[in-house]
Structure formats: structure tokens, C-alpha cells
Amino acid sequence: MKTFAACSTLALGLMALAPGSTAAQATVPIWRELVIYAADTSYPDELARRGVQGEATIELRVADHGRKTAIVRDSSRSAELDALAVKMAQRLDIKGSGDASSGLIRFQFRKDSDTTIATKTCADFNVDAAYHATTFPEHSQRMLPGIYESVGKLVYSLHREGEQRSFPALESLMDATMAACARTPESGFLEVMRQEALKLIR
């Protein structure tokens, strides 16, 4: 039970760190929230290889004659992702709702899904960590995309193995995992995280 309790605590902590809506956006309804994974053909492989990820909020305005214009309301901090989000928003089959002639479309660009994280290498993680540190220097490494999925898989696997001791602090685990991945980029990311977690709880 301690393992599941730890997982719940981590999940709540990660959710609390998620970016919220700005006051300016509160007056515009949210029309769509979309997650675009690297497996999607609209997410260029070259961007994924460089670890370019983020969330862009686009305001889509629909005129009476159906013409659409899109502007970036909240940048992903990548000009390439912002431009991609604008194009995708303009192609959406969407109309104004009631009195609202404009709405927000939120795009989350994510490299890893729940399935691909299992085969992720440390080398790939190192690329993601470097991009995150450069682009979001004010954010903790625990906010790296894919960390929630990774921790969830790790907690589940430890529970199945009968490991009932308290899960280590996420910051300590991330520091140890990043250091280990830097030393062994050819290793599997989840296996490295697992080994470092076991060291911390023993």
C-alpha cells in the first residue's frame, strides 16, 4: 500500500506543477485540447530527435463567412512548434459556438507515450533533458515530459516484485537517474531509473 500511496502523492505533485490558464485566457472558451505524439505524422521526426516538446495555446477566430485566423496566445517556447500549432488549428473542422466567435486550442507536443517510454534509451532521455533545461530553466527536472509515465511504470513494477518500502523522493531519484544516464547513454532509461530507485530505498 505504501507503494501505491507514494504513486498517488507523486501524481498529485506533478499535476500541481502543470501550467495553468492565464487570466487573459479565462474570457475565451477552450474549444479543444489535443495531445500530439511523435508517432503522429504531423509531428516532424527532426523536432522529436532534438527533444523539442512543449504546449502551445492557440486562439482560433472564425469569421461569419467561415474564414479562420489563428494567433499564439501561449507559446511553447519553440517557434517551430508554435508555427505547427497555428497550421493545425487552422485546419481543424471547427465552427464558432453560440455567441463565441473565437476559442482556444491547446496542443501538447509529446515525444513519448505510455508505450514508447518502455523502449526509451538514456541517450534519448539526455537529449530531452538538455532541451528542457535550456528552454524551461525555471522548471524542475521532474516536469520533464514522460516522467509521470516513467514513475508510474516503475512504481507498478516494484510493487509486482514485492517491494513495499517507501518510494524515494522524486528529486533525488531524478538527480541519480540523470547522472547515471550521462555515464551510460546506451542503457535503457527505465532500467536505469529502476536501479537508481532500488539504491535509494535500500
pLDDT in tens, 136-191: 999 998 889 889 889 988 988 888 877 667 788 999 999 999 999 999 999 999 99
User: What is d(CA 26, CA 57) in angstroms, rounded to the nearest whole number?
Assistant: 12
What pLDDT, on a 0 to 100 scale, did the predictor assign at position 158? 85
User: What is d(CA 107, CA 97) in angstroms, rounded to the nearest whole number?
Assistant: 20
pLDDT tens-digit series, residues 30-78? 999 999 999 888 899 999 999 999 999 999 999 877 789 999 999 999 9
Q: What is the DSSP string of 99-139?
A: TBSEEEEEEEEES--TTGGGG-BHHHHHHHHHHHHHH-TTS
What pLDDT, on a 0 to 100 scale, did the predictor assign at position 100? 64
- Distance of CA 109 to CAs 13, 30, 88, 112, 150, Å? 21, 18, 12, 9, 17
What pLDDT, on a 0 to 100 scale, did the predictor assign at position 142? 85
What pLDDT, on a 0 to 100 scale, did the predictor assign at position 96? 60
φ and ψ of 115, to 5 deg: -85, -40
Mean pLDDT of the 97-120 span:
87
**What confidence tier does 103 reach under pLDDT thresholds 50, 70, 90?**
very high
- Distance of CA 9 to CAs 96, 153, 155, Å? 40, 15, 12
* Amino acid in position 61: R
142 contacts 171 by C-beta, under 8 angstroms: yes
Mean pLDDT of the 104-131 span:
95
| Residue 5 in this model has a pLDDT that exceeds 60 | no
What pLDDT, on a 0 to 100 scale, did the predictor assign at position 164? 67
**Residue 80, Cβ neighbours under 10 Å: how many?**
15
User: What is d(CA 154, CA 3) in angstroms, rounded to the nearest whole number?
Assistant: 10
What pLDDT, on a 0 to 100 scale, did the predictor assign at position 13? 44
β-sheet with 54-62: strand ranges across = 30-37, 102-110, 54-62, 68-74
